[in-house]
Structure 1
Amino acid sequence: MKLLRTTLALAALLIGVPLIVATCMDSTWEVEARRTLDAPPASVHPWLDAVGRWRSWAVADAALLEVGTGPVRGPGARLHWGPSRLGPGRLELTASDPARGVWFDVHLGDDRHPIRGVILLAPAAAGTEVTLICRGDVGPDPLAKLALPWAKGELERGLASVLERLGRRVEAAD
């Protein structure tokens, strides 16, 4: 009987403590990636403003993305994707400024936790510094909060790959 009580107490600690800690963790997150491209901002912005061009650099497999109905560039332009590793979703441009960059929202699956993103352009000595920032909130789910450090690392690597592909496209075209 003592062994059973000890085992149950240990199990409660191993499960309970991380869940209690997770309830106190922040649910918001932000990831960022930067890359300097060998092209002026005026050459980079058209790759960001026209969602059809995102298919060639935003994902490794362009067949995953479909251009939505509505405008093909600027605010309101949309990309859609079907079931994938992240589930179905859509990206919509919310603002665009040739000198500063583009802003967008990403809606995944059930759309409970939208992601806000921006791709900022800044002139640099060697061309254009491109900064890709995504922000979100996982909500109150303690397991999602516990997974945040891992998920942020994966997202940072993913954003770096996105900027790498964008750089190859822009620099090849310039």
Structure 2
Amino acid sequence: MPFLVERSITVVADPDQIRPWIEDFHRWRSWSPWEGLDPAMARTFSGPEHGVGASYAWSGNRKAGAGSMRITDSAPARLDVELTFLKPFKAVNQVTFLLAPVAAGTEITWQMRGEQNGLMKLLGKVFSMDKMVGKDFERGLRQLKETVEQSR
């Protein structure tokens, strides 16, 4: 069963002031909604510092789980990430960040697409991915907005 989770926010900044915060996984600690789930979470960075090929893996407590992310494509208005979950459920999802100039600054859209298989397919009949992840996207976008606007 395919799913799409999508949230947007407007940030008072140009796209080139926002991109470094999303294409460098080291910077995600300042805004990602999941970074605070496990203070002792193990993190590994590999590949280039940022952009295509940059990778980030984590392993944490039950709430944080384990997985990895790798930037697969990067353009001025778009960043694509392959997101692989190992725990608590195995899944591979595609994440996209879209940066669109608007009168007030830049609209950032955060999307996640994937397939619900196995147990997640069964859970999806009761709990939609949008309800499970949407609030995290909203919190992360608010934190990203605050981080970018304060750094200007």
Does the TM-score normalized on the shorter chain lie above 0.5? yes
1:83 matches 2:64: no
Q: 1:148 to 1:160 in 2, by over 3 A?
A: same
Q: CA RMSD in A?
A: 2.0
Secondary structure of 2:96's counterpart equals strand
**Alpha carbons 1:81, 1:90 under 8 Å: kept:** yes
| 2:11 aligned residue | 37
Deviation at 1:60, TM superposition (A): 4.2
Q: Given residue 91 of structure 1, which amino acid in structure 2 is its aligned partner? A: M
Secondary structure of 1:161's counterpart equals helix
Gapped regions of structure 1 (runs ≥ 5): 1-26
| 2:94 aligned residue | 116
Secondary structure of 1:35's counterpart equals strand
Residues paired across the two proteins, number: 146
Structure 2: how far apart are the matches of 1:51 and 1:140?
29
Identity among equivalent positions (%) equals 27
Structure 2: how far apart are the matches of 1:140 and 1:108?
14
**Alpha carbons 2:42, 2:60 under 8 Å: kept:** no
| 1:47 aligned residue | 21
| 2:146 aligned residue | 168
Structure 2: how far apart are the matches of 1:67 and 1:91?
10
Q: 1:65 to 1:117 in 2, by over 3 A?
A: farther
Deviation at 1:123, TM superposition (A): 0.2
Q: 1:65 to 1:44 in 2, by over 3 A?
A: farther
Matches within 5 A, 1:84-99: 84=61, 85-97=63-75, 99=76
Secondary structure of 1:114's counterpart equals strand
Q: Choose between structure 1 and 2: higher helix proportion.
A: 1
**Alpha carbons 1:80, 1:91 under 8 Å: kept:** yes
Deviation track 1:62-107 (CA, whole Å, cap 9, x = no partner) reads: 854624222110111111111332521111111112x213110111
Once the two structures are overlaid, the 10-residue window that deviates more, 128-137 or 79-88, is: 79-88
Q: Given residue 82 of structure 1, which amino acid in structure 2 is its aligned partner? A: S
Deviation at 1:119, TM superposition (A): 0.5
| 1:69 aligned residue | 46
Q: Choose between structure 1 and 2: higher strand proportion.
A: 2
Q: What TM-score, normalized by structure 2, do the two folds share?
A: 0.86
Secondary structure of 1:76's counterpart equals coil
Secondary structure of 1:109's counterpart equals strand
Gapped regions of structure 2 (runs ≥ 5): none
Deviation track 1:87-143 (CA, whole Å, cap 9, x = no partner) reads: 21111111112x213110111116852010101000010000000000111125552
Q: What TM-score, normalized by structure 1, do the two folds share?
A: 0.76
Q: Given residue 24 of structure 2, which amino acid in structure 1 is its aligned partner? A: A
